[in-house]
Amino acid sequence: MLRARRVLPSFSKTLIQQQQLHLPSSLSNSKHALLTNDTTSNLHQSLLQMSLRGHAINFRHYNALLNECVAKRAFREGKRLHAHIIKTHYPQSVYLRTRLIVFYNKCDCLEDARRVLDEMPERNVVSWTAMISAYSQRGYAYEALHLFVQMLRSGTEPNEFTFASVLTSCAGSMGFFSGRQIHSLIIKCNYEAHVYVGSSLLDMYAKDGKVHEARSIFECLPERDVVSCTAIISGYAQLGLDEEALVLFRQLQGEGMQSNYVTYTSVLTALSGLAALDHGKQVHNHVLRSEVPSFVVLQNSLIDMYSKCGNLTYSRRTFDAMHERTVISWNAMLVGYSKHGEGKEVLELFMKMREEKKVKPDSVTILAVLSGCSHGGLEDKGLDIFYDMTSGKIEVEPETEHYGCVVDLLGRAGRVEEAFEFIKKMPFEPTAAILGSLLGACRVHSNVGIGEFVGHRLLEIEPENAGNYVILSNLYASSGRWEDVRSLRDQMLNKAVIKEPGRSWIELDQVLHTFHASDRSHPRREEVSGKVKELSIKFKEAGYVPDLSCVLHDVDEEQKEKILLGHSEKLALSFGLIATPESVPIRVIKNLRICVDCHNFAKLISKIYGREVSLRDKNRFHRFVGGKCSCGDYW
Query: Where does this chain bind DNA (CB under 7 A)?
Result: 94-95, 98-99, 102, 124-127, 129-130, 133, 136-137, 159-162, 164-165, 167-168, 194-200, 203, 207, 225-228, 230-231, 234, 237-238, 260-263, 265-266, 269, 272, 295-298, 300-301, 304, 326-329, 331-332, 335, 362-364, 367-368, 371, 401, 433
| 413: phi then psi, degrees, rounded to nearest 5 | -80, 5
Contact 336, 312 (CB under 8 A): yes
Q: How far is the CB of 260 from DNA (least distance, A)?
A: 5
CB 481 within 8 A of CB 565: no
Question: How many CB atoms are closer than 10 A to CB 403?
Answer: 22
CA distance 260 to 453: 54
CA dihedral defined by 6, 9, 14, 17, rounded to 10 degrees? 0
Cross-strand pairs, 170 = none
Name which of 221 and 492 has its Cβ closer to DNA. 221
What is the smallest separation between the CB atom of 226 and DNA, expressed in angstroms? 4
- C-alpha 157/C-alpha 293 separation (Å) is 39
> What residues contact residue 22 under an 8 Å CB cut-off, 6+ apart?
none
Q: What residues have CB less than 8 Å from 368, skipping those under 6 apart?
A: 331, 334, 335, 338, 346
Kindly state the smallest distance separating residue 97's Cβ from DNA, in Å: 8
Maximal CA-CA distance, the chain: 103
Q: Find the shortest distance in angstroms from Cβ 204 to DNA.
A: 8
For the chain, what is the radius of gyration of the CA atoms? 31
Residue 9 and residue 47 in contact, taking contact as beta carbons nearer than 8 Å: no
Q: Are 18 and 6 in contact (CB under 8 A)?
A: no
Expressed in angstroms, the distance from the first to the final Cα of the chain is: 78
Identity of the amino acid at 129: T
136 vs 465, which CB is nearer to DNA?
Answer: 136
β-strand 628-629 against 621-625: which pairing, if any?
antiparallel
Identify which of residues 131 and 550 has a Cβ nearer to DNA in the complex.
131
Q: Residue 192 forms beta bridges with which residues?
A: none
Question: At its nearest, how many Å lie between DNA and the CB of residue 189?
Answer: 13
Provide the β-strand partners of residue 505: 514, 589
Q: Is 507 helix (H, G, I), strand (E, B) or coil?
A: strand
Toward DNA, which CB reaches closer, 47 or 134?
134
Q: Which of residues 42 and 326 has its CB atom nearest to DNA in the complex?
A: 326
CB 436 within 8 A of CB 458: yes
- Helix (H) or strand (E) run with residue 57 in it: none
| Contacts of range 249-254, beta carbons closer than 8 Å, 24 or more positions apart | 252/224
- Yes or no: say if 634 and 377 are a contact pair by the CB < 8 Å rule: no
* Complex with DNA: residue 8 or 117, whichever CB lies closer: 117
Check: CB of residue 554 under 8 Å from CB of residue 489: yes
- In 3-state terms the chain splits into helix, strand, coil percentages (rounded to 5) of 65, 5, 30
- Assess contact for 57 and 89: CB atoms under 8 A: yes
Q: Distance between alpha carbon 8 and the CA centroid of its chain, in Å?
A: 51
Of 260 and 591, CB closest to DNA: 260
Backbone dihedral region for residue 510 (phi beyond 0: left; psi -120 to 50: alpha; all else: beta) = left
537: how many CB neighbours lie within 10 A of its CB?
A: 10
**Residue 425 and residue 485: Cα distance in Å, rounded?**
31
**Least distance between DNA and beta carbon 573 (Å):** 24
Give the neighbor-by-neighbor strand order of the sheet with 628-629. 511-516, 503-508, 586-590, 613-616, 621-625, 628-629
